[in-house]
Copies of this chain bind each other. A is one copy, B any other.
Amino acid sequence: MNKAELIESVKRFFAEDIGQGDITSQAIFTPDQIGHAKFIAKDSFIVCGMENIALPVFQTKNPAISCVKSSEDGAKANIGDTLLSLTGPVLDLLAAERVALNLVQRLCGIATLTSQFVEKVKDLPVRIVDTRKTTPGLRMLEKYAVRVGGGHNHRFNLADAVLIKDNHIAACGSTTSAVNQVRQTIPHTLKVEVEAETFEQVKECLACNVEVIMLDNMDTQKMRDAVNIAKGKALLEASGGVTLENVREIAETGVDIISIGALTHSAIACDISMKLEVD
């Protein structure tokens, strides 16, 4: 993760959540009162972001906030577990609480959902990967949570990978001519990935040496057909409609990669609360 970028984001999140200041707490606490805060799990889930996201959030508010103890990313938390223990000025702990919780609750949710998918296929040679269907402004963090959950990342943005879709193919007349046209300009460091909806398109992709073929909303029988002819010649990525129920069946077709938008757009926030004691 890019920590400088995280801190810039956190400053904006504080502006949004704190505004001119926590007028309630400032009426009650003085800047020199010290407190001890704990993040407590209210549910079972995979931990994500205590030390390298929640802690920097608090320290962006006040670098004097120190971390007493924190759970490791990827660990399993159970109800009642203390995930993060902090010491610092009460006013700063309270001011940063909501931004920190809002972030890590979401990220634990993504890591947990990802780990459930990964668990289903853990004995198979397949990668679970994310998509660009992330929360605007939080992509770096959400893709990190996918990795914490055992998943891998697909492209970060439109500039760092090539993905030729139906509109591109239609505009060029054929998959082959789209691939040729794209190869003329893209850096030689990038593979070409092409969306295929039919077996014919898979064959055309292979014919022009496409490095990755996205099997778009195919049923598992079609996927198996694609694997039969493409395995070892191109990477095959299954995409569309993947659920915890069907992910294993899809993986068993032999595809190399399964991409799942739900990892980031449909994860539910985990329940974490902050307990505070004032000296």
Contact = CB atoms under 8 A, between A and B. Distances in A.
Contacts of A5: 15
Contacts of A18: 2, 157-159
Interface string A1-33: 110110001011111111111111111110001
A34 to B, nearest CB: 12
A98 B132 contact: yes
Q: In the complex this chain forms, how many copies of it are found?
A: 6
Contacts of A159: 18-23, 156, 160
A218 to B, nearest CB: 17
A231 interface: no
A83 to B, nearest CB: 17
Interface residues of A, number: 90
Given A4-B11, A135-B138, A269-B265, A23 B189 contact: no
B162 A17 contact: no
Interface stretch (A166-174, A200-208, A219-227): A166-174
Contacts of A269: 133, 265-266
A135 to B, nearest CB: 6
A32 B163 CA distance: 22
Contacts of A158: 17-19, 21-25, 95, 98
A187 interface: yes
Given A13-B136, A136-B17, A139-B16, A162 B106 contact: no
A265 B102 CA distance: 8
Interface of A: 1-2, 4-5, 9, 11-29, 33, 90, 94-95, 98-99, 101-103, 105-106, 127, 129, 132-140, 147, 152-165, 167-168, 170-172, 178, 181-182, 184-191, 193, 211-212, 235, 237, 256-257, 265-266, 268-269, 276, 278
